[in-house]
Amino acid sequence: MRFGTVFAIALSIIAVFGVGMAVVTIAMLSQTWEDQCTVPSVLNGAISSDVDSSYANGDAIDASMITCDSNYHLDTNSSTNLLCVCTADGEACEELQHACVAQLCSTPNVTNGEFSTYLSELQNGTMLEASDIVCDNGYVRTGVTDFVCICENHGDQCTTIQNACEAGTTTASPNDDPDDSSDSNEDLELSSKSSGIPDWALALIIVGDIIACVLLSLGIWACWDYHDKKKAEQYWNLYMEHRAKNDNSSPPVAIEVQDITIRNDAVSNKVLMDASSNRSAPIGKVVKPGSRRELLVSEASMMESEAKQMEERGNMNEAVRLYTSASEKLQEAVKGAHASDETFGLAVRASKYEDKAKQLRRLSQNQV
């Protein structure tokens, strides 16, 4: 598979992942998140195990699933408004304190007497005030002082008291100051507080968005890098094509400039040949170019400059000598050199210096 194809597939996957994370982020942030709370406890009672295990803040609680303890009953007033109140996700709903209330009974009847005060909120087992009992005419209080309210169901009348009054002429004075007690029911207040999106969802969004940003950045960088490499590759191909057009596939066998020949030899690789002779006899040993070659070229350039000055002054003999010496310096510099553009250029310069020396020599002779 080509690199371009793999690269395109990778970028497609990154793009799909980035778009997917964006959609998920928007969907989760736009969703209304509610706290999920567990089953509440019930004061003086319990909720059946069949009830749902979770509630949202403000959800109604089914009163039929509540069972009250002994001597307690389900309050019909509050059972229709049982709601879950929780302040944080995962916590239990607040305790239901008014769902199960004590069974209340009314004042019992008294044989041959009565209670001076009517009471409707007596609980089963509550001690009754003996001083509140008033006996009928012709009856008096007995010596019994401990009286207990006994009732089985909410709203029933306590069991009749039969041993409080007996026949007699003295009546007891009732106590007109009974203590009244009442329980006040508090209204259930809901907390509208909501913790919003859960922590795990928020963490998931953050991590996913970071990964998407990193992958997107890598994708952009990879696109830019790939573009640069393709552009460099195009430049390189153009360069190689240009070089192939302008470069010979093989170096020249020999370069001849007048009487100087720079030749590639199969054995010695490079030898300096005498072009004037018909035989291929080397006239010098091959030496590698180095600092000496550079020095010779520099000296030749200096001699050329001096020769031009002498020519301008009319000193033709000195100019001829300098051009000839410069030519000899360049010829020495190219001895044993590999056939290249630089070597060819030096050989051409040496030939030009020699031609210039010959020209000035003829001009000087004509003037004489």
> Has residue 234 been placed in a domain?
no
- Collect all residues with Cβ–Cβ distance below 8 Å to 236 and sequence separation of at least 6: none
pLDDT at 309 over 90: yes
> Has residue 235 been placed in a domain?
no
- How much is the pTM? 0.35
> Has residue 240 been placed in a domain?
no
Distance between CA atoms of 248 and 238, rounded to whole angstroms? 17
Digit-coded pLDDT (tens) for 101-137: 888 888 899 998 998 888 877 888 888 888 889 999 9
Are 126 and 224 in a shared domain? no
Distance between CA atoms of 15 and 219, rounded to whole angstroms? 9
Are 77 and 14 in a shared domain? no
Are 175 and 110 in a shared domain? yes
Domain residues for 70?
36-102
> Has residue 194 been placed in a domain?
no
Nearest partner of 271 among 289, 287, 252, 290, judged by Cα: 287
> Has residue 237 been placed in a domain?
no
Are 258 and 336 in a shared domain? yes
Are 265 and 326 in a shared domain? yes
Q: What is the CATH number of the domain that holds 325?
A: 1.20.58.80
Which of 102, 124, 154 is the C-terminal boundary of a domain? 102
Digit-coded pLDDT (tens) for 169-222: 764 444 444 454 444 444 444 444 445 677 778 888 898 889 988 888 888 888
Nearest partner of 40 among 63, 17, 23, 24, judged by Cα: 63
> Has residue 238 been placed in a domain?
no
Q: Is 203 helix (H, G, I), strand (E, B) or coil?
A: helix
What is the tally of structural domains in the chain? 4
Are 135 and 210 in a shared domain? no
> Has residue 249 been placed in a domain?
no
Please give the average per-residue pLDDT across 215-231, as a whole number.
78
> Has residue 312 been placed in a domain?
yes
